[in-house]
Amino acid sequence: MYLSLRFTPLSSIVFTSNTPHMPICTQCTCSIPYLYTVYQTMNNLRLEQCPNCSSFADPYVEHDALTLILDLILLKREVYRHLLFNRGSEPRHMGQTDADDIQGAPRQRPSRSKVYIVLFSLALTPYQVTYAIAQDTWSLVAKLGLSLILVDAVIRWRGNKDIFHFNYAFSQVVSACFLDTLVFHLGVTVASVLLLKSMDWFRTAFNRPYSSKLGTRTEFRIPLVSLTLFYSSLTKLFLLLLLAIWQSPISPTTANPVEPGTGLPNYIAQHELTRSALTLLDESHFDRAWVIRNVLGGMSAGFGLRVLLDCHPILTTLAVLFGWCSKSLVAQFIDSLTGMSITLEYSIP
């Protein structure tokens, strides 16, 4: 009996489905081998059912990019799991046969050196696949991060009323956005890693092992933290973009200004508590961009980390606060050295 082996280049093995990475069910996070099955006929695929919860493992494989973006803005955890853990997963192929079997070509006995090369390549495959997956994730983080930082810089620059020199002011805003994002992501990443290490130590000390079906822990990688934060920032940037486009200019010469409480019953509009609340919500006293950027942005970042780390919301809130504190400390330090007060514009005081 001859040993039937087909020599495959090592570079093609790295990017095929022979990987230690396994997709997960977007409902119960159980690890599964395949998300869908592709048949030989064109545009014919079948979604796989999760063996644990009996639901479709990942319906987002059939959705377009617009649906994914809308669900990210709406903070749906299933789309987070699809983009973080199931992106690029290979399907199961059905109805495909080997080319040599179709042509009837005889199988030749491979040489001993070719057998050793193939076995050595297969032995190195898991380590090189892990490196390739990490490199691909970091590349996606860099591309997505630079795009969102540029959008954030445009929004901040447009809201700056003291701009006279376009090039200098915009470059300063871009530098501030890049610095804030870098320090915030580093702080949240360090806090997330320490959080996972503490949870592992706690479960080991008290003999509470993780469930073997929990795929979010087995597939966790450090660049996924930054990727989660960038995905979570879409909600914040979407609202900030709407605020920047439709923000009404404040003019002291506006004719017939609308009084606070207009449209409310008199006994409610004239109440002292109502007038105080409306005064606080007035645009001249209430920084809507600050609330969207910090409060809503922090909540969406905590939600994304909750999906990624699968821990209590209080712990993810602490991780976000650690990133905020790190960003504020670095911003204050740079402001004391360079006088770039723009870095403190949206930092937690």
Find the distance separating the first CA and the last CA of the chain, reported in whole Å: 75
Domain end: 93, 120, 147, which one? 120
- Residue scoring higher pLDDT (142 or 273): 142
Please tell me the pTM assigned to this model.
0.74
Domain total in the chain: 2
Residues 27 and 58: beta-carbon distance below 8 Å = no
Report H helices in the chain. Answer: 10-14, 65-73, 77-85, 99-103, 112-159, 166-205, 215-218, 223-246, 266-269, 272-280, 288-290, 297-309, 313-338
- Residue scoring higher pLDDT (210 or 198): 198
**Beta-bridge mates of residue 46:** 37
Q: Are residues 235 and 333 in the same domain?
A: yes
Contact residues for 235 (Cβ-Cβ < 8 A; gap 6+) = 72, 73, 74, 75, 296, 297, 300
- Residue scoring higher pLDDT (39 or 169): 39
Structural domain harbouring 14: 10-120
Report the largest interatomic distance among the alpha carbons of the chain, rounded to a whole angstrom. 96
Per residue in 234-275, pLDDT (tens digit) is 999 999 888 878 765 554 444 455 555 555 666 565 666 666
Domain end: 103, 120, 137, which one? 120
Question: In this model, does residue 114 exceed pLDDT 90?
Answer: no
Is 305 inside any structural domain?
yes
What pLDDT shows up at residue 89?
82
Per the document, the length of the chain is 349
Per residue in 46-99, pLDDT (tens digit) is 888 888 888 898 999 888 899 999 999 999 999 999 999 988 888 888 765 444
**Beta-bridge mates of residue 36:** 47
Is 92 inside any structural domain?
yes
Q: Are residues 183 and 282 in the same domain?
A: yes
Residues 307 and 140: beta-carbon distance below 8 Å = no
Residues 102 and 40: beta-carbon distance below 8 Å = no
Q: Are residues 192 and 320 in the same domain?
A: yes
Q: Are residues 168 and 75 in the same domain?
A: no
- Residue scoring higher pLDDT (132 or 335): 335
Q: Are residues 201 and 276 in the same domain?
A: yes
Domain end: 120, 145, 169, which one? 120
Which residue shows structure tokens 């190195």?
Answer: 124
Is 253 inside any structural domain?
no
Q: Are residues 137 and 97 in the same domain?
A: no
Q: Are residues 114 and 149 in the same domain?
A: no
Give the H or E element holding residue 37: strand 36-38
Q: Are residues 90 and 170 in the same domain?
A: no
Pick from 146-160, 183-197, 227-241: least confident: 146-160
Is 256 inside any structural domain?
no
Is 324 inside any structural domain?
yes
List the Cα angle 251/253/259 in 5-degree steps: 80
Confidence at 37, pLDDT banded by 50, 70, 90: confident
Share of the chain above pLDDT 90, in %: 23
Question: In this model, does residue 115 exceed pLDDT 50?
Answer: no
Is 3 inside any structural domain?
no
Q: Are residues 186 and 284 in the same domain?
A: yes
Is 254 inside any structural domain?
no
Question: In this model, does residue 159 exceed pLDDT 80?
Answer: no
Q: Are residues 281 and 169 in the same domain?
A: yes
Q: Are residues 328 and 203 in the same domain?
A: yes
Question: Rounded CA gap, 19 and 295, in Å?
Answer: 40
Residues 240 and 346: beta-carbon distance below 8 Å = no
Question: In this model, does residue 1 exceed pLDDT 80?
Answer: no
Question: Across the beta sheet with 36-38, what order do the strands follow?
Answer: 45-47, 36-38, 92-93
Residues 50 and 57: beta-carbon distance below 8 Å = yes
What pLDDT shows up at residue 99?
42
- Residue scoring higher pLDDT (184 or 115): 184
Q: Give the CA distances from residue 256 to residues 251, 259, 263, 281, in Å, rounded to whole numbers and listed in that order.
A: 12, 9, 15, 20
Confidence at 232, pLDDT banded by 50, 70, 90: very high
Is 53 inside any structural domain?
yes
Residues 278 and 260: beta-carbon distance below 8 Å = yes
Q: Give the CA distances from residue 221 to residues 36, 41, 54, 68, 194, in Å, rounded to whole numbers and listed in that order.
A: 24, 36, 27, 22, 14
Q: Are residues 28 and 60 in the same domain?
A: yes
